[in-house]
Amino acid sequence: MSTKQLQDIELSILDLAPVLEGSTPAESFKNSLTLAQRAEELDYHRFWLAEHHSMPGIASSATSLVIGYIANGTSKIRVGSGGIMLPNHAPLVIAEQFGTLESMYPGRIDLGLGRAPGTDQMTAHALRRNHHSDGSEFPELVAELRSYLNPTSRNLVRAIPGEGLDIPIWLLGSSGFSARLAAKLGLPFSFASHFAPDYLLPALQLYRDQFQPSDVLDEPYAMIGVNVITADTDEKAAWLATSQEQQFLNVIRGEPGMLRPPVEDIHQHCHPNEKAMVDKMLHYSVAGSQRTVTNKLQQFLDETQADEIIINSNIYDQHERIRSYELLAEAVKA
């Protein structure tokens, strides 16, 4: 049994700036800022945004811009990327963008890096990503990016702003590749268990077993992603969670869309095999009352020994989304 208790670790938020059915990205950004401001009041540690492209239900494609918007509207919560899909970009551009953000909002910016395209192959090609790329070049891209931030690297090309700034870099992943690289480089590691749960435990073990201390970390630091929906009752939370289930149904059907309102019976909207696939993807998820949610999160913590949990809450109604984070914070503190 883990000696870690839920109230002793940091809780953070992963926001996808969800576009609601019947709404617009402009409204999504306002909703995200309102959520970030309330999260700051509730003492959540980080507020991260993720890079996705060509997805009607996610507005955070220009991730660096949205990070700046959120950071400008808050004052102390850390804001960052969960993550920037580095092979989509020139490392110099990301060093400059995050150097700019860190210069504007010093001591508050995180740079989480992933190696997947964050989209389909056609869109990846439109991003000028090499269609032959399998992500194997990721270590070299990370090294190049870090060299631009290192003032002693003696690069002929320099990231201004960026050079010499202390911008924490995280590696993100859903397999052993980034876990192994994060261990080798002595960097913090975040696993995308909120949608890819299968390899979580082996990846964490790999990261911890192979970890090499660095100037960044003396010991491994692992964060896991969990979908959480908290409501006054288990029944209400289960109803709110049907928006999330519909979203994952769209993903497995190859028909990504906007976040839809809850439905009374999700089984009427899918085949049993589809529901089974969704349930598998949502293994590290919990929807329920404060007691149900905190008990389940403690189980996840016992199982994974995570140092931090980052929470994604796909809830259609903005008031209910904020309320979910309020109830969770209240329960953990209690």
User: What CATH number does residue 137 fall under?
Assistant: 3.20.20.30
pLDDT, tens digit (0-9, with 9 covering 90-100), for 275-333: 999 999 999 999 999 999 999 999 999 999 999 999 999 999 999 999 999 999 999 99
- 121 in any annotated domain: yes
Q: Is the pLDDT of residue 18 over 70?
A: yes
Stated pTM of the model: 0.94
- Dist. CA 251–CA 248, nearest whole Å: 5
Answer yes or no: is 281 within a domain.
no
- Average pLDDT along the chain: 94
Q: How many structural domains compose the chain?
A: 1
Query: What's the domain range around 68?
Result: 6-227+306-333
Per-residue pLDDT, averaged over 18-22, amounts to 96
Count of alpha carbons within 13 Å of 109, Cβ hemisphere only? 27
Residue 256 lies in a domain: no
Residue 275 domain flag: no
Core vs surface per residue 286-317: b (16+ CB within 10 A) or e: bbbbbebbbebbbebbeebbbbbbbbbbbbbe
Q: Is residue 201 part of a domain?
A: yes
- pLDDT value at residue 85: 94
Residue 269 lies in a domain: no
| Any domain includes 273 | no
* Confidence grade of residue 134 (pLDDT, cut at 50, 70, 90): low
In DSSP terms, 114 is beta-bridged to 85
Percent of the chain with pLDDT over 90: 85
